[in-house]
Structure 1
Amino acid sequence: MSSNALPPVVDAKAWQRELDALRVREKAATRELDAIAAQRRRLPMVEMPEYTLQSAEGPVRLVDLFEDKKQLIVYNHMWFPGEKWQCSGCTGFTSQYSRLDFLAQWDARFVIVTQGPIDEALAYKERVGNPMTWYSTAGGPFGADVGAPPGAGFAVNVFLRDGDKVYRTWHTDGRGCEQLSHTFALIDLLPYGRQEEWQDVPDGWPQSPTYSRWMESQKYAELYGADGA
């Protein structure tokens, strides 16, 4: 990092003018996100067939994942067979959600579904200290049908229940998941941002190869999980 990697120093009035100019764009982005959410609420939905998944207590139907709630968010966690440490991005993303009981006020749950066998998935959950409820779709078509087939990527899916019928209402993957994360929201507030080489930054700002600052799954285990305990 250059010794000159510092924002210019100005007086308080000049700083406020620059902040006010930025605030115009921030408010416009907020209004656009409101409009996107309004469009999302108007999306049609598709009825899902019956699926059987595995839970810590044994086989469950997809509708059972809702418990007594009407809405369900599912994070499809990447899984690599035979590996002790699973996707660091998925591990880090889901480590943020330590307190989810508040969703009950909105008649919703948020759970993890992975392609890993349930016993291995639960062992990994314990290893990295993940407090979410995990289910497995190993050997079943659910993951593939919602954009997260075996050996492939991660996804977020949202479902709505009407009685015993389940409907898929929304899906995203890749950087579409960022809006659900506070990790990058906090880092993007910092003067140096994510410090990844693809970002637009002033000359001399610290930059590293993409993903190089991301923690490995072992580190999450050291911080939060059974390995750390």
Structure 2
Amino acid sequence: MTDHDHALPPVVDAATWEHRLEALRAREKAATRELDAIAAERRRLPMVEMPDYTLEGEDGPVRLADIFDGRSQLIVYNHMWFAGQEWQCPGCTGFTSQYTRLEFLDNYDARFVIVTQGPIKEALAYKQRVGNRMAWYSTADSSFGTDVGAPPDGGFAVNVFLRDGDTVYRTWHTNGRGTEQLSHTFALIDLLPYGRQEEWQDSPEDWPQSPTYSRWAASKDIAALYGTGSAGI
């Protein structure tokens, strides 16, 4: 017995199920076409030139243009950082720790990295502690984070940049739930009959629901699964 036994979808015959599925699929296909149209508009956005920032990497100071590592396109996840905290934002930790194979971006002349407000030594130690595989950079001594929507003790963000020689341009930005499209976690969870099980979601009566974020893994739990000394590394 589980706490879900009282919450079950209605049982119907196969023909009825196929009919309902086809109706939903029509909406899903319409959403896909809308996402294609949004991506097309994104490719037509103008851009803004960036200053010549210097960040801190694993091997020392590095210009923003050099973080591209020879590529022309760069995705940056601005990871939340709170000074003095052993465990940083669980949402950022979980979101970025899922990226273990990013080499496919090489075929698209692109790279995907993390930039955080934390000092580089602390950031790299945290990276190892939680089992993160991405390249990390620090903007602790630069205004870069603040200038792209991720100030100290502030929010998280995704920013995209285009490089032309040594000149870097900002082409796109999102934050909040706009980052969900980059994650496979919610895409998989939303396929489940019970979904995310969060209070804000529109679900049938008696469906299991919990306070928002309550089912998210804590950073400490992520570290136990994937970080230093775990079986995941």
Q: TM-score scaled to structure 1, two decimals?
A: 0.99
Report Cα offsets for 1:89-111 as digits up to 9, x if no partner.
Answer: 00000011100000000000000
- Residue 2 of structure 1 and its aligned partner are, at CA, apart by 5.8
- Residue 204 of structure 1 and its aligned partner are, at CA, apart by 0.6
In the alignment, which of 24, 27, 30 is matched to residue 28 of structure 1?
30
State the distance in 2 between where 1:227 and 1:92 align: 18
- Residue 174 of structure 1 and its aligned partner are, at CA, apart by 0.2
- Residue 180 of structure 1 and its aligned partner are, at CA, apart by 0.6
> What value does the CA root-mean-square deviation take over the aligned residues?
0.8
Is 1:188 the counterpart of 2:190? The answer is yes
Is 1:219 the counterpart of 2:221? The answer is yes
- Residue 6 of structure 1 and its aligned partner are, at CA, apart by 0.3
Q: What is residue 55 of structure 1 aligned with on the other side?
A: 57
Report Cα offsets for 1:174-228 as digits up to 9, x if no partner.
Answer: 0000011100000000000000010000011000000000000001101100042
Aligned residues: 229
Q: What is residue 13 of structure 1 aligned with on the other side?
A: 15
Amino acid at match of 2:136: W
Check the 8 A contact 1:73/1:109 in 2, yes or no.
yes
Go from structure 1 to structure 2 and tell me whether the alpha carbon gap of 1:2 and 1:109 turns closer, same or farther (over 3 Å shift): closer
Q: TM-score scaled to structure 2, two decimals?
A: 0.97
Q: What is residue 168 of structure 2 aligned with on the other side?
A: 166
- 2:15 aligned counterpart, secondary structure: helix
- 1:9 aligned counterpart, secondary structure: coil
In the alignment, which of 155, 158, 161 is matched to residue 157 of structure 2?
155
Report Cα offsets for 1:40-90 as digits up to 9, x if no partner.
Answer: 000000000010100000000000110110000000000000111000000
- Residue 3 of structure 1 and its aligned partner are, at CA, apart by 3.5
State the distance in 1 between where 2:125 and 2:64 align: 22
Q: What is residue 143 of structure 2 aligned with on the other side?
A: 141
- The runs of 5 or more residues in structure 2 that have no matched partner are none
Identity %: 75
Amino acid at match of 2:210: S
- Residue 140 of structure 1 and its aligned partner are, at CA, apart by 1.1
